A and B are shown apart, each in its own frame.
Chain A
Amino acid sequence: MIDFHLDEHSGVPPYLQIVQQVKQSLRLGMIGVGDRLPTVREVVERLVINPNTVLKAYRELEYEGLVSSRPGQGTFVLRTLALMSLSSHAFLRRGLVRWLQSAREAELDDESILALFNATLWDSRAAESEGRA
């Protein structure tokens, strides 16, 4: 069984934090096909949040085809997300280290590096969704 936590200062809406945490658990292999997610009641009692917040998160996961809810029984995992393999992880990390070295040579500080990374990530996402549309 997985456990959720909320970061109140992240600016990410609580329902989205739950969605992201379920996905993260799937990616890391902490939960798999057939596993049951905590019931709405369990989550609201632990996090002390509105039940509709949890229902909204579970509906979103259901819409994405990751879970399915069976009335009276609970919400179950239907499929998992691709596990991040350690070898591809290491390969990407080496590339990133090289990139960071060149960023330092260009005299970027940590904040500028993060800003550049986030802006590029944002642009590539926007380009992807435009391509889809």
Chain B
Amino acid sequence: MSIALETTNLGKRYGFSRRWALRECALSLPAGRVAALVGPNGAGKTTLLQLAVGLLQPTEGKVRVFGHSPFEQQREVLPRVGFVAQGHPLYKGFSVADLLTMGRKLNPNWNQQVAVERLKAIDIPLNWRVGRLSGGQQAQVALALALAKQPDLMLLDEPLASLDPLARRNLLSVLMGATAERGLTVLLSSHIITDLERVCDYLILLSASHVQLAGDIDGIVRSHKWLLGPRTDTSAIASIHSIIQESHTNRQTRLLVRVNEHLFNASWEVHDAILEDIVLAYMGQTMSYDAPVEPPTLQRVRKETAL
């Protein structure tokens, strides 16, 4: 199984900031997967995607796309990667046809037919200015342009944000069709996992600038269980399984654990966990002790120098 995206000890710190936007990131995304990159705002999702497409240079560690460095070996990496940035930015004054011309002239593997047919199928007139199109249509145009590059890895930063439910469905439908047809690897970010559950088979959970969880979604769901039982000390459980979340009433203890062996003490009632519970539990683990990293503001720089 070849690896589409691999990072080792990858870290990024912006400018004078002392905070890391992303740190100790170790990932290995197998080719052919559709991966959800999930995490709260400011967790480092955009930073990771921009490192993967070579828009940013790592502060430390390595990122490899099909074995090449996106920042140093752009000639090898860029033709194989499609990238739809947050808010799917397009030149608003261009017509759709102008954008296609630009795409054709800038990309060696450009497939004009793919783009034209895709836009025709969703009734987007080529002579319209981009500014006249609805948000959903602009997202479709951005996706059509990225797919016409015929990439092997598709990166999408918050592609569903600001789209209505129908536009979301249409966009994901096109993306899944292309994935089935071309064996594409996809990495798309969102802060809502429920939007992505049906389309993704791999999860990368970022929180507080670190990867908290990464792997096959079926495997993740199978290996996490809710345990319900009379109120007890949890150290015995913690010595075998990893406790992700723990809550107590005066009578009862409720735990979300990552199971390392399948035997439980008979006093525990075992329940399956759903993906959303697992994701929220991991986010809750980190949110409490580390505030999200934001780009430095003038105010904060002043405060820091005053200290």
Contact yes or no, B198 A48, CB < 8 A? yes
Q: Which of B32, B169, B177, B200 contacts A44 (CB 8 A)?
A: B177
A52 at the interface (CB under 8 A from B): yes
B3 at the interface (CB under 8 A from A): no
Report the Cα distance A48→B173, complex, angstroms.
5
Q: Which residues of B contact A46 (CB under 8 A)?
A: 173
Contact yes or no, A44 B179, CB < 8 A? yes
Q: Which of B32, B181, B201 contacts A41 (CB 8 A)?
A: B181
0/1 per residue, B156-178, Cβ < 8 Å to A? 00000000000001001110110
B180 at the interface (CB under 8 A from A): yes
A50 at the interface (CB under 8 A from B): yes
Do A50 and B201 form a contact, CB below 8 Å, given A40-B180, A44-B180?
yes
Contact yes or no, B198 A45, CB < 8 A? no
Q: Which residues of A contact B174 (CB under 8 A)?
A: 45
Q: Which residues of A contact B201 (CB under 8 A)?
A: 50, 52-53
Q: Which residues of A contact B32 (CB under 8 A)?
A: 52
Return B35 CB to nearest CB of chain A, in Å.
Answer: 11
B199 at the interface (CB under 8 A from A): yes
A51 at the interface (CB under 8 A from B): yes
0/1 per residue, B169-198, Cβ < 8 Å to A? 100111011011100000000000000001
Q: Which residues of B contact A51 (CB under 8 A)?
A: 34, 176, 179-180
Contact yes or no, B180 A48, CB < 8 A? no
A33 at the interface (CB under 8 A from B): no
Chain A, residue nearest B179 (CB):
A51
Report the Cα distance A47→B172, complex, angstroms.
10
Chain A, residue nearest B183 (CB):
A51
How many positions in chain B have a CB within 8 Å of any CB in the partner chain? 15
Q: Which of B34, B173, B181 contacts A50 (CB 8 A)?
A: B34
Name B's interface SS: helix
Report the Cα distance A102→B179, complex, angstroms.
55
0/1 per residue, B122-157, Cβ < 8 Å to A? 000000000000000000000000000000000000
Contact yes or no, B200 A45, CB < 8 A? no
Contact yes or no, A41 B180, CB < 8 A? yes
Interface positions, chain A 47-63, Cβ under 8 Å from B, are 47-54
Do A45 and B199 form a contact, CB below 8 Å, given A50-B34, A51-B180?
no
Q: Which residues of B contact A52 (CB under 8 A)?
A: 32, 34, 201
Contact yes or no, A41 B200, CB < 8 A? no
Contact yes or no, A48 B199, CB < 8 A? yes
Return B245 CB to nearest CB of chain A, in Å.
Answer: 22
0/1 per residue, A19-61, Cβ < 8 Å to B? 0000000000000000000011100111111111110000000
Report the Cα distance A86→B266, complex, angstroms.
48
Report the Cα distance A54→B177, complex, angstroms.
12
Return B274 CB to nearest CB of chain A, in Å.
Answer: 10
Contact yes or no, B172 A48, CB < 8 A? yes
Report the Cα distance A56→B198, complex, angstroms.
14
Contact yes or no, A49 B177, CB < 8 A? no
Q: Which residues of B contact A50 (CB under 8 A)?
A: 34, 176, 179, 198-201
Q: Which residues of A contact B179 (CB under 8 A)?
A: 44, 50-51
Chain A, residue nearest B168 (CB):
A48
Q: Which residues of B contact A39 (CB under 8 A)?
A: 180
Report the Cα distance A115→B181, complex, angstroms.
44
Q: Which residues of B contact A47 (CB under 8 A)?
A: 198
Known: A45-B176, A48-B176. 16 other contacts (CB 8 A): A41-B181, A44-B173, A44-B176, A44-B177, A44-B179, A45-B174, A48-B172, A48-B199, A49-B176, A50-B34, A50-B179, A50-B201, A51-B176, A51-B179, A52-B201, A54-B180
CB<8 Å pairs between A and B, sample of 9: A14-B198, A41-B180, A44-B177, A45-B180, A48-B176, A49-B199, A50-B176, A51-B180, A52-B201
Nearest 10 pairs between A and B by C-beta? A51-B180, A44-B176, A45-B177, A41-B180, A40-B180, A49-B198, A45-B173, A48-B173, A44-B180, A48-B172
